[in-house]
Each structure stands twice: as structure tokens, then as C-alpha cells.
Chain A
Amino acid sequence: MGEIRAELSKHSVTTQLSLTGPLIVARDIAHARLKERLDAGGDLPSYFKDHCIYYAGPAKTPKGLASGSFGPTTAGRMDSYVGPFQERGGSLVMLAKGNRSRQVRDACKKFGGFYLGSIGGPAARLAEHSIKKVEVQEFPELGMEAIWRIEVEDFPAFIVVDDQGNDFYADLIEKPLPTLQITP
């Protein structure tokens, strides 16, 4: 994780990346469960600290293929977990889709984290081209919302939020509106 973050630190927001290696997949219910553990005095599992976290829930794996359609889910829903998890050494590099709130930018700056944006939409293409192995890591009873461990190769992403407080979308979405020309 240290090496991954050191590499990402060398590049600016908007840099296009190609990811190869293991990812831990977790989304809404898993994040809520892990937060419950923290609140009860426990810690995040070590796999959650060692690897990048991909927010996603897969469709069924077709017979004979390594993966079913498996694109990213909306990052924004997990924003409230980022600060608490990064404080414990987890979620330091996250991969999902969509712009996120200010609290994510602030947490990444404070704890040295990154949010990488995956293209939202091409789930079948990712399954066929980039995802090589899919297995359940924890919470199998959650079906598609289980925590999965996957292996990827040449998975496209962009640096969206970095450890310096930069956010790809900050200018675009938060800047004041231009003067509107209303033509009759």
C-alpha cells in the first residue's frame, strides 16, 4: 500500500492509469458492517488496509468466464466512511465512479489517500478485458454486496482526488456559474 501511494504521489490529478494486481471490493452494507466493528471498539481487517478498495457489486459470473459484469458503483454513497477508515489505515486508495464530497478531499489530504475514478458504464468490457479472478473474501451471505477479492489487469482509471487536496471535479462542479447569455 505504501508503494502504491508513493507511485500515485508522483502524478497529478487527471492522470490516466492502468491498474494491475489485487483489489478488495466492498460497498454499502460491508462498509456499514465494518463501521459497526470500529464503533464497537474493533479494527478494520488487514486486507482492508493492504489493498485498494473498489466499490462495486458484481452481476453473476457466467459459466466458463472469470468474472461477470463488474463495473464501479457510485462512490458518493461511501463518503462518510472515508475519514474514519483512513484514520485506521484503510481505504487509503479507493476506486469507484462519480464525483465525491469535500469530506473525501479533506480526508485524503489529511491521511495521504487517493480516489481513483473508473469509467462508469462499461461493466462487460471490464469483465472481459480487465478482471481475471473473482472470489469471496467476507460476508458471503450478502450476495452481490459481499466483500470480494479480485485480480485485475490493465484496468483503466483516472486520479480524481489526491493526497494534496486536489480534486479533478472541484473546478468543474463547484465553480460559480458563468454569465448566461439568454438569446430570445
Chain B
Amino acid sequence: MPEFRYQELFELGPDETPYRSLGSDGVAATRLDGREILKVEPEALERLARAAIEDVSHLLRPGHLAQVRKILDDPEASRNDRFVALELLKNANIAAGRILPGCQDTGTAIVLGHKGENVFTGANDAEWLSKGIYRAYQELNLRFSQLAPLDVYTEKNTGTNLPAQIELHAEPGDAYELLFITKGGGSANKTFLYQETKALLNPESLLRFIAEKIRTIGTSACPPYHLALVVGGTSAEATMKAVKLASTHYLDRLPTTGNDLGRAFRDLDLEGKVLKLCNETGIGAQFGGKYFAHDVRVVRLPRHGASCPVGLGVSCSADRQILARIDRDGVFLEQLE
């Protein structure tokens, strides 16, 4: 009989994200019961959220920009691929001025936080993060896109872009790690769950399935895409959450092999094959060509024997996510450009 061994589902390797410092105001160390405690004033969370939304609405990851730029030099890119890529680069340049956001759909604000149990804020973190998000949408030239239902059919724009989607986890440690995403409607709508079976799990069936499904994404979510495919999952919602995280490249540091405890892993071989399928659609960067996708992430998860959820999703040309971290050295935000 196998012994008990705890397996972290997502074993992420070391974080090599470049961060910029927002200072250490509101962060102080103290001791309690022999433990080092990090006290974080809730105002620091508010300021962090405000800054995260501003940066993510106007800037992009250098890696993403490099991928757009590379289209211009690729002899296999179509004329339209290059035209779109050039417009996207000009757009990024303008948006970096922090006056006009890169996309008019400034999205739904989404926060995923992992709070070490030695971090004390003494407050309702979701409320203070919401306040920072609120300030960003009030003070910047963003857009209010959230509709509150008054009854089943009657709606009203909330006028603040709240509510945000905030999910906070408690775990061991003394750091507070956050991921902010502002997800637009176009790309959110191209997120799909397929309830499949074991019969799909062979190379030919799976690739044929993927080739068919990626075409249904079409051009509505502004390719070139960062495509995310998740095969398996302990539940439908687990699969879909993994799709979202994979599309932000949050799961890039997963191992590349599985184990008999069911850890999640990235399959690099399938990523290459699916990218080739994307190139071959001919859909390109919206008007025909090669660049339907910049890259693909494939994550394989454990599953109940009777279920095989498969998730597909994208991050679009407004590739908006930003990591953040609070630890004894202060408050840090991913460096975008």
C-alpha cells in the first residue's frame, strides 16, 4: 500500500521575474511567539493594486513585445501579419505614455494572491485591493465595463469597474505574492471547457481535436494569441483556472514530466505540435498568414477516471498580467515596458 506523501499540484520553479521596487512604506517586521511576522498596512495593498492596474493597462512584458517584433523579420509571415504586428507595436508605443491604454476594453480586474501565514494585514485584503483598483479606474483613462444585475434581466453599469474578481489563499511563509490580470471580454469569451473521455487521450485523436477547436476561436479575440491548453483536471473549475493561469505564463515554471503522485506538468513536445497546428490554420494575425499564435502552453493535470475535462483559452494582444510581491524587503511590482 502506498504511503502518505503530500504532492503540491503545481510545483513551480524559482521566480526569475524582474521586479521594480515600490518602496517599503507600510511594511514592517515584528516578532510573535518566536516567529518573524511581516506587518503590511492595508494602504500598501491599495497602493500596490493602483500601481499594478496602471502598469498593466499601459505596458507589456518585454518577452511579448519581442514576439510581436519578431513577426516583422520572419520571411514566413504574411504581409498582413506584418501590417498587424507593426500596428500593435505602434500601439504599444503610444500606450506606454500612460495616457491612452493599449486597449479600450480595460477589462475585469482579477487578483490571485498567496499570502504567507506570517503576513498580517489586520484588514479585509479584498476590500483594500478593490479600493486600489477603484482608484485606478477613476483616475486613469480606462473604461467602466462591469454590469450589476438588478433583477435577472435588468442591469446597470456599476460606474467603477468593480466588482473585481479577487481570490486569496493562505499558505506557509512570510511573503505575499500576487498576480493581477485585467481580462478583456473578447479573450475571456474564447475560453472553452470540453468534457471529454479517455478515448481522446492518444496522439492522433488529441491533435485532431485541437486542430478543430482552435479554429473555433477564430479572430474575435485579437490574435496573435498566447494559447493555453489543459488536459485533465480534478474538476471542471480546476481545469479552467489552470487554463487562465497557463495563458498568463504563470505556470511556465512547472516540471516537464509527470510523476505517480499526479503533479501537474508542461508538455513541451505537445506545445510545439500545437503551435505548428496554429501556424497551419492560415488564419494568421487576423487577416491571413502564419501568426495565429505567438506560443502555446500545454498543461497536463490528474483526473478522475470517469472524467477528462479539457480546457482551451487565450491571452490576446492586450496580454495583460503583472506579478507583485511583498516581503521583508518591501513592495515589488513586475517590471513591464
Contacts and interface: CB of A to CB of B under 8 A. Distances in A.
Contacts of B212: 177
A123 B220 contact: no
B308 interface: no
Main secondary structure of the interface of A (DSSP, over half): loop
A174 to B, nearest CB: 8
B106 interface: yes
Interface residues of B, number: 51
Is the interface on chain A under 10, 10 to 19, 20 to 34, or 35 or more residues?
35 or more
B109 interface: no
B91 A123 contact: yes
Given A74-B189, A123-B102, A143-B157, A97 B287 contact: no
A51 B318 CA distance: 29
Interface string B45-84: 0000000000000000000000000000000000010011
Contact of A76 (B220, B281, B286, B317): B220
B91 A122 contact: yes
Interface in A136-184: 142-145, 156, 158, 168-169, 172-173, 177-178, 180, 182
B127 interface: no
B317 A73 contact: no
Contacts of A156: 87
A21 interface: no
Given A74-B189, A125-B87, A156-B87, A169 B103 contact: no
A119 B102 contact: no
Contacts of A69: 95, 100-104, 141, 143
Given A172-B283, A173-B215, A177-B208, A121 B88 contact: yes
B102 A120 contact: no
B185 A73 contact: yes
Contacts of A60: 140-143
Contacts of A177: 208, 211-212
B199 to A, nearest CB: 16
12 contacts: A57-B105, A69-B141, A97-B186, A97-B219, A99-B220, A117-B286, A121-B316, A123-B91, A123-B104, A172-B283, A173-B283, A177-B211
